[in-house]
A = this chain, B = another copy of it.
């Protein structure tokens, strides 16, 4: 017999889970819509060429790949014996598969924009809330199927876009009840200028950024050690100077940018254009929980401009994003500027659960407002009719499906936590006046049918 568990790293969502997920998604949608972002959906399955090579070597490994079918599979299986002996692993994989599961929502967006240039407005503001799949090793809080909530603006190089994204994401989190998040802000060109100024060789930038990104997690000494183990000399003087340290207060953002600016001017003998971009973003933003953090690197390699991350102390990142002016060009003739932000639904849900942030109607959601009982086989039609009349009063009504003993029916009502039960026996049917039982107090009262909704809702 097959296992009844979901596949490794995947999850079933029972009703209470779905309701929480939909509550959060509902608020995200509502806020993004209020900023003029529009919904987009793309298929779970993409041509494998669309995805391969967009997420680095590790990404390529973690993409779920779908076996070819029919004749194409037969051909692939046959060609194997002749040519495979000295080729590596990647060769049979690429010959056997033609499709793959969506790995993020940004690459599909880039594909859609390149494919629909004539149908989409000059500035395409879209949000997309869909699952993605990664063949990662499952761990606490890390799943193989998880939702991303992306919001992106395509077509403008203006820093107004970064500011609007920061405002929109902040509003989502505030509406969900978060009040202790911080927005970290940096710029890819600033990182490159800083590393160039510190004479890190260009082929070591990527590794250096990985270590820098850990500065706030593992501390300065561990980062220096890590860098040395990778043969990178960032200059302890620079690391121990305050250059890579984030500001602690919004008011220091300006002097931080000045400090970085003079560092770059000293070492590179030119200005950093990134400084001006960051100043612009700060000027446009009305939120005050935003701080310049020169150690913020963000993993993905496609970022070309501002990078952002939303953090909560002691919890980590709830999402991040940045500008990626080169990605869409990989799919089309045109380079089209783009900037976006992605919220991680799963992390948000975990924190909201721990902090009990769900409103009571979500946290204690019930299957129905009222359950209609069935007195006997003969009165089934009457009970169904009553249920339908109560539904017309905007009540959610479940019907006990069998003419069981009343005790069993009430026990079931208790088990699904329905707050009221309608008893509808021959007397009540004759008068067309159901008896309504309050399952908490046990109190029973007879009502006209058209009065039940008002009673239950108040």
Q: A residues bordering B, Cβ < 8 Å?
A: 1-7, 10-15, 17-19, 21-22, 33-47, 49-50, 61, 64-67, 69, 73-74, 77, 80-81, 89, 92-93, 96-97, 99, 101, 108, 111-112, 114-116, 119-123, 125-126, 131, 133, 135, 144-145, 153, 156, 158, 160-161, 163-164, 167, 283-284, 286, 330-332, 367-368, 371, 374, 380-381, 384-385, 388, 391, 394-402, 412, 415-416
Contacts and interface: CB of A to CB of B under 8 A. Distances in A.
A401 B43 contact: no
Contacts of A11: 43
Contact of A43 (B12, B46, B65, B380): B12
Nearest to A120: B14
Nearest to A16: B38
Contact of A126 (B15, B50, B156): B15
A396 to B, nearest CB: 5
B415 A121 contact: yes
Contacts of A67: 64-67, 93, 96-97
Main secondary structure of the interface of A (DSSP, over half): mixed
Contact of A34 (B97, B284, B397): B397
Contacts of A50: 2-3, 7
B131 A44 contact: yes
B384 A4 contact: no
Given A80-B80, A153-B401, 16 more contacts: A4-B332, A6-B115, A7-B50, A12-B43, A14-B116, A18-B41, A34-B396, A34-B397, A45-B145, A67-B67, A67-B93, A122-B415, A123-B400, A164-B384, A167-B384, A286-B384
A66 B65 contact: yes
A64 B342 CA distance: 29
Contacts of A164: 384, 399, 401
A21 B39 CA distance: 11
A127 to B, nearest CB: 10
Contact of A12 (B6, B65, B112): B112
Nearest to A153: B401
Contacts of A331: 1-2, 4
B398 A47 contact: no
Contacts of A415: 121-122
Given A66-B65, A112-B12, A36 B3 contact: no
A19 B108 CA distance: 19
B36 A13 contact: no
Given A2-B331, A11-B43, A125 B367 contact: yes
A194 to B, nearest CB: 27
A388 B19 CA distance: 29
B19 A39 contact: yes
Nearest to A339: B401
B19 A381 contact: no
Interface centre among A11, A144, A283, A380 (most CB of B within 10 A): A380
A214 B412 CA distance: 43
Contacts of A284: 380-381, 384
Given A6-B43, A399-B164, A115 B384 contact: no
A103 to B, nearest CB: 13
Contact of A121 (B42, B80, B135, B416): B416
A36 B367 contact: yes
Contacts of A80: 80
